[in-house]
Amino acid sequence: MSPGMKFRRSCNSCNTTFFAEDRKAFLCPKCVKKKAAAPAVVSKPSFSKSNYSSYNSSSNPSSSFGSKPSSSFSSKPDTATSKVFKPAQKKFVKPGSKPKPRIARQPKTGILTDELKDKIITSYLTSKDLVDSIKKLHAKISHELWVKPKLVADTINHLRKQEKALSEVCSLSNEDKERVLKIYLKLVHEDIRPIEGRRNHIANELNLPPREVILAVREWSNNIMGQLSRQQLFLIEKEYWRIITQERYHTFADLPKVISKNLDFVSIEQSSRWLDQLHDNTKLVKVPLPEEEKQKQIIEAYKQYLAQAEPPPQALHTTFAKTFGVKALQVHKILCDYRCQLKPA
């Protein structure tokens, strides 16, 4: 090695790059000084091997024969370098006083009911301007109502999507809206689904922007279907199931009129639109199905659902998804395919 040659090294302590003449150096100059100035390591009691006395023929032989080995060790460590361990201090308890029992708090609610949904929405509307972060707002509502944060986030996200959708207004004239709805209702009543989709089909036929057609149909649907409660939609579905299983002489085109006649609260347009949604499987083509056994269990549970007096607290697809360990879209596809199989001609 030539004189004055230095090697580039990396410190094992602080990972700093430094140059040293020793190619095996592993500490930089700063860490060497720190190590030299560090306090001495606590010394542990040192034990040495047993020293056996050698057999000396000139001395007393009985003194060495059978004698026990003598071991030399320091039983007491050096007080100057040893650490003194103190027992952990216990919390002071007043004599005669009993400790307060710890009350276990109930876990946060994970089931979304209509009442709880209204409370979440009300709390969101009153607190959204007071909290700067949406995550903090979710945590605040979750703690106040003692609801799982995911439930709060899903409810608020759904509400915000609805608000965003309602903020878009169709700019078509009333005459164009009537033309759009006339063709749309005709396609619904006749159960026709063009390949390009109903809204795109109407936009191409009337030479209108597709977005404006979507907004026109959405406004009509929100006004018409928004008048029905979840209980009323459930009764429409029950009546439809009763007709197709007991009165099999009706065609599918006649069912909206029959249901509207049997149920006073629903119109023909509302009944037709809801039946159309129950059989709409256009967006479920790529959804994978679970095993056949679970499909049968879901269909049997659906039959029991239709025999009840009211729907479950949560949405049907969500309830079945949690019960059978599948996804809500899979439940949606299974039930939609089952309805399409039993759909009258």
Q: Which residue intervals of the chain are DSSP H helices? A: 29-37, 61-64, 114-127, 134-145, 149-167, 174-189, 198-206, 210-225, 230-246, 255-262, 268-278, 292-306, 316-324, 328-342
The full set of domain ranges for the chain reads 7-37, 114-167, 174-225
Beta strand pairing call for 7-10 and 17-20: antiparallel
- Residues 252-290: tens digit of each pLDDT: 889 999 999 999 999 999 999 999 999 998 889 899 999
User: Helix, strand, or coil here: 9?
Assistant: strand
What single-letter DSSP state applies at residue 102? P
More confident: 336 or 94: 336
C-alpha to C-alpha distance for 320 and 298, rounded to whole angstroms: 7
Percent of the chain with pLDDT over 90: 47
Which tokens go with 227? 């008048």
Which tokens go with 277? 């949604």
User: Helix, strand, or coil here: 142?
Assistant: helix
Q: What is the pLDDT of residue 24?
A: 85
Q: Which of 190, 309, 192, 316 is nearest to 255 (CA)?
A: 190
| 53: confidence class by pLDDT, cuts 50, 70, 90 | very low
